Chain A
Amino acid sequence: MGSGQREKFDNPVVEWVDSRLPVFTLMQREYGSFPVPKNFNYFWNFGAIAGVMLVTMIVTGIVLAMQYTAHTDLAFDSVERIMRDVNFGWMLRYMHSNGASFFFIAVYIHIFRGMYYGSYKGPRELLWILGVVIFLLMMATAFIGYVLPWGQMSYWGATVITNLFSALPLVGEPIVTWLWGGFSVDNPTLNRFFALHYLLPFVIFAVVFLHVWALHICGSNNPEGIEPKSEQDTVSFHPYYTIKDSFGLLFFLVLYCLFVFFAPDYLGHPDNYIPADPLVTPAHIVPEWYFLPFYAILRAITFEIGIPFTDIVFITAKLGGVIAMFGAIALWFVMPWLDTHPVRSARYRPLYRTFFILLVIDFVALGYIGSQAADAVLFGLPLSVMGLICTAYYFAFFLVILPVLSKKEKVKTLPNSIHDAVLAKNKSHS
């Protein structure tokens, strides 16, 4: 960045600025003439879409923050005031609350796309790791944001999730007290959550910047999973992908707006329209839908680990659940080293493809299990058992299946180049 060849611009103002600070050169190089594989499918839209959702969240969030009051006595009512008395306040709030859901939809698709096409493999390991960092920060931000309206689910969700840290031996209890700023979720908690909720999106923004930077160093992966070799394999980002991304984005926004304007509370929980009450526990405490798979993993661990036939327990069930839940995401960090198979794309790895599709089904099933009461039964089978089975598959996929496939899996023949693959595809279509 900075030094190096500058582009030439006809516009004198642009040229004046660029010769002093080459931002236009940067934009031109990274988003104008930037060469990109020409065989992307629509799954490659979701990075850009996630970026737009992040900006949407920051813009609507800042305007909400101008009206919101972070105090336990006032928070709920201040959100209601936004909904009723602030001009278009209802729209801002619904854009923000549904925006979180659609941000997660985009990012989940983006992540599973990466897994399917092997985008986490070298040389993109760091790019992938930065992505997982973004996902973790998003989870923290969304969890904290959900506490702000101070409804029943806000309060009880915050209580349940922060309490998880108390499972840590020795330091657990002090950590929870420290997080709360007291001995229960209360005004100090709400206040610091607001401060953090304002801060974290900007941290996300910074990590997104690094993520995109890393992307522009090693270039995009593509559905074939092979690197571009000649100019025939690529197109310039603009106009080919600016237009395609715009179309994908607009289509995504249609779905988002259908929720914002026609079913704004569908993804929320009715209990969050009841003001927080520390003395009344809701019948079922459920997190937002985007946390449900991990919540199911947390609840799946109901046994403790210790020396059999003694009272000695090393890992309580609660701690086991917490380790499993965080471990489930931590595994993503090391995915490039669990799967060392030289071929990236699942298109050419039939076994990996099958196990991966099972993983997606497994993940959705975990989400369903997480949404149900702990003692629920489906088709005569207790869901807790199904939760354990699904959790076992989830871990087996990363810890057993990936390493074994890395050594054993035979692949289909790879195309010579991206261009060849596109030609072959066009032929079979016509």
Chain B
Amino acid sequence: MKMKRTFSALLVVLALCGVVGYSSSAYAAGDTPHPPKQDWSFSGMFGTYDKGALQRGLKVYQNVCSACHGMKHLRYRNLTALGYNENQVKNIAAQYSVTDGPNDEGEMFERTAIPSDAFVSPYPNEAAAKYANNGAYPVDLSLITKARHSGSDYVYGLLTGYSEPEHGVEVPEGKYYNKYFPGHVISMAPPLSDDIVAYDDGTPTTTEQYAKDVAHFLTWAADPYMEDRKRIGLRVIIFLLVFAGIMYAYKRQLWADLH
């Protein structure tokens, strides 16, 4: 028990040192700037997702990001929201295989993924993911735009924010300078460059466009019911306002007699 206490105390002290060290290094480099606001079709009270952008974003995720990042909270069937029909979704799922089982003989087996399966993650677990990425963990992206301040702008900023080191930041071997990553030193190599994914709708195949589309897709993935939410919300607000208005008129009349 004593050992454990000392150990956890040590951990806390270490963590605190980490936090202090981290924030002071961030200071030295000039605070991490806020990612610039982008023009998104989904912002505002009436904003909706752009299905074209979502489909292109899925493509970028599948061809690039999914090599390292999982999206385990999504299921292939959710992709109908992107405008795909059930057959297309079946075909997308069929590109992946999952471990299932045990079967009648008690063996685990591989089978083709079906629409009700969760997105297949590239690594079996966190340790394997870290091991393959020099100790850095490529986080699950299902919730990334909710898990960062101004998430959509941040993902776009991060993907387009690579450059030569600025402000004299030391970037160790195997790491990269990124303007918008806290502390500026990131373990993810710039994942995007021009023309790495083919688009079939004539949209330009630039890094910026890829970043924009994949951020759009990730925003949907984190908040798939946004359109329903806003639509229902609008009705609820209108209903409440009308009802409140009636009550107010009634109240005025009732109280007028009193005074």
Contacts and interface: CB of A to CB of B under 8 A. Distances in A.
Interface in B203-236: 222, 224-225, 229-230, 232-234, 236
A283 B22 contact: yes
B67 interface: no
Contacts of A246: 247
Contact of A247 (B4, B232, B251, B259): B251
Interface string B19-58: 1001100000000000000000000010000000000000
Contacts of A379: none
Main DSSP-derived SS at the A contact region: helix
A376 to B, nearest CB: 11
B64 interface: no
A59 B146 CA distance: 26
B243 interface: yes
Interface residues of B, number: 44
A23 interface: no
A198 B259 CA distance: 47
Nearest to A264: B229
A80 interface: yes
Contact of B19 (A235, A239, A250, A281): A281
Contacts, number: 90
Contacts of A14: none
Nearest to A184: B8
A244 interface: yes
Interface residues of A, number: 37
B24 to A, nearest CB: 10
B148 A270 contact: yes
A236 to B, nearest CB: 11
B147 A271 contact: yes
Contacts of B224: 84
A240 B259 contact: no
A373 B16 CA distance: 13
A283 B19 contact: yes
A260 B234 CA distance: 11
Given A80-B73, A250-B244, A254-B240, A183 B8 contact: yes
A270 B151 contact: yes
Interface in A408-429: 422, 426
Interface in A1-51: 38
Contact of A258 (B19, B237, B259): B237
Interface in A301-337: none
Given A240-B258, A247-B251, A260 B233 contact: yes
B75 to A, nearest CB: 8
Given A240-B254, A246-B247, A262-B233, 8 more contacts: A80-B143, A94-B229, A183-B8, A240-B255, A264-B229, A270-B148, A273-B143, A283-B182
28 contacts: A77-B73, A80-B142, A84-B73, A84-B78, A90-B225, A90-B229, A91-B229, A94-B229, A183-B8, A240-B254, A244-B251, A246-B247, A253-B240, A257-B236, A260-B233, A261-B229, A262-B229, A270-B147, A270-B148, A270-B151, A273-B143, A273-B146, A274-B139, A274-B143, A281-B15, A281-B18, A283-B23, A426-B259
